[in-house]
């Protein structure tokens, strides 16, 4: 399986996935050069820097989650179907290696590549936040890292599941559709909080169970802590502010990922090559 992992990492490099990583790093570095403007100029410099740094961390963490998911999907959605079409897996599978080992090795290779990129991106975020606010500790960035890593793990699993029976464009589209379902949990919750319609609450809960992005987002927000503003501190995740985080959220996310992984492995086992 180690060989499969290494080959998957080399395939990611061959597909120039590092180019996306470099672009993301450039995007993360841009806020380091944004000047303090507006009402922040009326505040003491140390307080203004703390607010700018806090806002940067919260906004950029969402960007890191997004690009980690995109990177995982772009690599995972074609890892089975595309290689079957090219005949790569046809040459590997007859050898004395189980299909489960191939599937698990590919999953681990993609996840390790994405996780390494996320760690580098978070290191850049930490560096920029420290540059903007040298007095702050910014430990919350590293506290949120384990929960941010759930995004490439889940989307690698999802992309590979769809890749076992669908072509790359279709697998990518199905994964994006699933992501939209997960995102709609917060949207339905906001609408329900506004209009108090029971059906919207049902839709929100259903979306949260079908695609547990909301649970992951709540844990990331809790690890980051409150957002510094001119008037004090506010909780950043307004859509989920009434829902406390519990360890069961993480258990459900891990169970969801395990079920999706097993489903993909089973489909791959039964697919004709």
What is the reported pLDDT for 233?
Answer: 55
What is the reported pLDDT for 33?
Answer: 87
Taking only the tens place, the pLDDT of each residue in 119-158 is 999 999 999 999 999 988 899 999 999 999 999 999 999 9
The distance from CA 128 to its chain's CA centroid, rounded to whole angstroms, is 21
247 burial via Cβ count (<10 Å: 0-12, 13-18, 19+): exposed
In this predicted structure, the answer to whether residue 181 has a pLDDT above a threshold of 90 is yes
What is the reported pLDDT for 190?
Answer: 85
Identify the domain containing residue 230 by its residue range: 2-270
In this predicted structure, the answer to whether residue 173 has a pLDDT above a threshold of 80 is yes
Two tokens at 272?
């004709």
In this predicted structure, the answer to whether residue 7 has a pLDDT above a threshold of 70 is yes
Q: Quickly list DSSP for 171-205.
A: HHHHHHHHHHHHHHHHHHHHHHHHH--HHHHHHHH
In this predicted structure, the answer to whether residue 115 has a pLDDT above a threshold of 90 is yes
Taking only the tens place, the pLDDT of each residue in 212-232 is 999 999 999 999 988 766 555
Q: pTM to 2 decimals?
A: 0.90
In the chain, the number of structural domains is: 1
Two tokens at 10?
């080399």
What is the reported pLDDT for 236?
Answer: 54
Q: Report the C-alpha gap between 249 and 219 in whole angstroms.
A: 8
Q: Report the C-alpha gap between 164 and 264 in whole angstroms.
A: 6
Q: How many CB atoms are closer than 10 A to CB 61? A: 24
Taking only the tens place, the pLDDT of each residue in 237-252 is 455 556 788 999 999 9
Taking only the tens place, the pLDDT of each residue in 46-91 is 888 888 898 899 999 999 999 999 999 999 998 888 777 776 666 6
The distance from CA 225 to its chain's CA centroid, rounded to whole angstroms, is 19
State in Å, rounded, how far the first CA of the chain is from the last one: 19
Query: What are the Cα distances from residue 247, in Å, to 62, 253, 264?
Result: 22, 10, 26
**In which residue are the tokens 């999802």 written?**
158
Q: Report the C-alpha gap between 156 and 255 in whole angstroms.
A: 15
Q: How many CB atoms are closer than 10 A to CB 139? A: 11
Length reported for the chain: 273
């Amino acid at each position: 399986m180690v060989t499969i992992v290494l080959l998957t990492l080399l395939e990611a490099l061959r597909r120039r996935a590092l180019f996306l990583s470099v672009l993301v790093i450039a995007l993360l570095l841009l806020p380091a050069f944004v000047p303090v403007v507006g009402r922040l100029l009326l505040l003491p410099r140390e307080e203004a820097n703390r607010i700018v740094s806090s806002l940067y961390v919260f906004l950029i963490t969402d960007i890191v989650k997004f690009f980690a998911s995109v990177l995982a999907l772009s690599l995972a959605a074609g890892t089975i179907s595309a290689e079957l079409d090219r005949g790569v897996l046809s040459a590997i599978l007859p050898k004395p290696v189980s299909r489960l080992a191939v599937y698990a090795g590919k999953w681990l290779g993609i996840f390790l590549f994405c996780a390494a990129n996320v760690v580098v991106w978070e290191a850049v975020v930490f560096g920029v936040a420290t540059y903007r606010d040298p007095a702050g500790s910014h430990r919350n960035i590293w506290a949120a890292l384990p929960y941010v890593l759930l995004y490439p793990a889940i989307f690698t699993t999802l992309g590979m599941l769809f890749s076992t029976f669908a072509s790359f464009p279709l697998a990518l589209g199905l994964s994006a559709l699933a992501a939209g379902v997960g995102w709609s949990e917060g949207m339905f919750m906001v609408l329900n909080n506004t209009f108090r319609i029971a059906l919207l609450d049902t839709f929100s809960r259903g979306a949260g169970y079908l695609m547990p992005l909301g649970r992951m987002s709540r844990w990331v927000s809790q690890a980051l802590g409150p957002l510094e503003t001119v008037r004090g501190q506010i909780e950043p995740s307004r859509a989920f502010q009434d829902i406390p985080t519990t360890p069961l959220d993480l258990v459900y996310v891990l169970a969801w990922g395990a079920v999706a992984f097993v489903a993909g492995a089973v489909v791959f086992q039964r697919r004709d090559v």
